[in-house]
C-alpha cells in the first residue's frame, strides 16, 4: 500500500493544517505549512485577486507552487469555492477540493466534498435593527466578518471576531455592509466541509487498483439503466458504477449499492 510521507507539506496560510491534522495523525503523518508562502496570489474570496481557473485547476497549481517553494516531492493543497446550486440557483453550494501530489510516484489524487450547509450571509446598514439577531445566527466570534464601506465599495477590515471592533467600525462608517468571512479559519461550517474533502482523499489513497496497486481505484464512469419498480422499463438512471485505474486502465463494473430499482416518481413513463 502507498502511504503518505511522515512529514507532509500543506500549502495554506489559513491554518487548514489545524483543521486537517487529526485525519492524518492516525496515519503517522504530520502536516506542515510552507513558512512565508503567499497562497492569496491564487485568488481571494473578497474579490481582490480574481481566480482565473476553476477550483480543480487552482488547487493543483497551488500545490505544485508550494512544493517548489518548500522543495518537496510530495504535497497537499486545499481550495474551496462558493457558487449557486446548478439546479436551484437560490441555494449556495460550497465545494471543497483537497489534492495530494506525489512527484516520485506520479500520483495526483483529488478529494472533494460539496455542501449546502454554507455560512455566506450579508447585512447592510438599512437593516441595523437585525444586527443582533444576525450576529447570533452566524455565531459571530467563531465566525468572522468582512466589513465594507458601501459609499466607495471599499473593504475596511476583515477577519473581525470582536464585537467592540465591529461597533467601532459601524460608528465610523455610516453606509456599512458586513458579510461572513469565507476564509477557512474564520468559517466553521466551511471547516466541516474541508474535513469531508480530506476523508474523501484518504479513502481514495487507500483504494488501490487490484492489478497494479496504484491508489485512487475509484468510480469514474457509469453504465446500464435502473429499471422502474412499477412498470419495469429501463430509465435514464445508471445501474452500475465503473471503477477504473488511471495508471493501467484496468476497470471493474459493480452494481450500485444504494439502489436496485427506481422509484416510479422518477420514471419518465410513469411520471412524464
Q: Which residues bind Zn ion (CB under 5 A)?
A: 209, 211-212, 214, 228, 230-231, 245, 247-248, 250, 264, 267, 269-270
Supply the minimum distance, in Å, between the C-beta of residue 259 and Zn ion.
14
Cβ closest to Zn ion, residue 205 vs residue 228: 228
Q: What share of the chain is helix, strand, coil (3-state, %, to 5)?
A: 30, 30, 40
Cβ closest to Zn ion, residue 32 vs residue 266: 266
Q: Burial code of 259-269, b = ≥16 C-beta within 10 A, e = fewer?
A: eeebeeeebee
Rg of the chain in Å (alpha carbons): 22
Supply the minimum distance, in Å, between the C-beta of residue 223 and Zn ion.
19
Q: Which residues contact 24 (CB under 8 A, 6 or more apart)?
A: 4, 8, 30, 31, 198, 202
Cβ closest to Zn ion, residue 166 vs residue 267: 267
Supply the minimum distance, in Å, between the C-beta of residue 63 and Zn ion.
23
CA separation for the pair 25, 110 (Å, rounded) = 19
Match 445501474 to its residue by C-alpha cell. 239
CA separation for the pair 141, 186 (Å, rounded) = 9
CA separation for the pair 88, 83 (Å, rounded) = 11
Supply the minimum distance, in Å, between the C-beta of residue 109 and Zn ion.
14
State whether residue 125 is helix, strand or coil: helix
Cβ closest to Zn ion, residue 186 vs residue 267: 267
Supply the minimum distance, in Å, between the C-beta of residue 233 and Zn ion.
6
Supply the minimum distance, in Å, between the C-beta of residue 108 and Zn ion.
15
Cβ closest to Zn ion, residue 88 vs residue 248: 248
Cβ closest to Zn ion, residue 194 vs residue 228: 228
CA separation for the pair 225, 136 (Å, rounded) = 48
Amino acid at each position: 500500500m502507498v502511504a503518505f510521507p511522515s512529514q507532509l507539506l500543506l500549502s495554506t496560510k489559513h491554518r487548514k493544517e489545524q483543521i486537517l491534522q487529526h485525519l492524518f495523525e492516525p496515519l503517522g503523518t504530520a502536516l506542515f505549512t510552507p513558512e512565508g508562502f503567499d497562497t492569496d496570489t491564487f485568488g481571494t474570496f473578497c474579490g481582490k485577486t480574481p481566480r482565473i481557473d476553476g477550483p480543480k485547476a487552482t488547487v493543483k497549481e497551488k500545490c505544485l507552487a508550494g512544493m517548489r517553494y518548500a522543495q518537496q516531492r510530495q504535497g497537499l493543497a486545499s481550495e474551496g469555492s462558493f457558487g449557486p446550486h446548478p439546479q436551484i440557483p437560490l441555494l449556495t453550494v460550497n465545494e471543497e477540493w483537497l489534492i495530494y501530489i506525489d512527484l516520485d510516484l506520479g500520483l495526483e489524487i483529488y478529494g472533494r466534498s460539496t455542501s449546502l450547509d454554507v455560512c455566506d450571509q450579508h447585512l447592510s446598514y438599512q437593516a441595523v435593527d437585525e444586527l443582533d439577531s444576525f450576529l447570533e445566527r452566524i455565531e459571530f466570534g467563531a465566525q468572522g466578518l468582512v466589513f465594507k464601506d458601501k459609499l466607495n465599495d471599499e473593504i475596511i477590515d476583515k477577519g473581525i471576531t470582536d464585537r467592540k471592533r465591529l461597533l467601532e467600525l459601524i460608528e465610523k462608517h455610516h453606509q456599512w455592509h458586513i458579510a461572513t468571512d469565507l476564509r477557512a479559519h474564520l468559517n466553521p461550517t466551511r471547516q466541516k466541509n474541508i474535513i469531508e474533502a480530506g476523508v474523501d482523499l484518504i479513502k481514495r489513497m487507500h483504494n488501490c487498483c487490484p492489478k497494479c496497486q496504484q491508489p485512487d481505484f475509484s468510480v469514474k464512469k457509469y453504465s446500464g439503466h435502473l429499471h422502474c419498480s412499477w412498470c419495469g422499463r429501463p430509465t435514464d438512471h445508471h445501474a452500475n458504477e465503473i471503477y477504473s485505474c488511471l495508471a493501467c486502465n484496468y476497470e471493474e463494473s459493480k452494481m450500485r449499492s444504494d439502489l436496485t430499482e427506481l422509484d416510479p416518481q422518477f420514471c419518465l413513463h410513469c411520471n412524464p
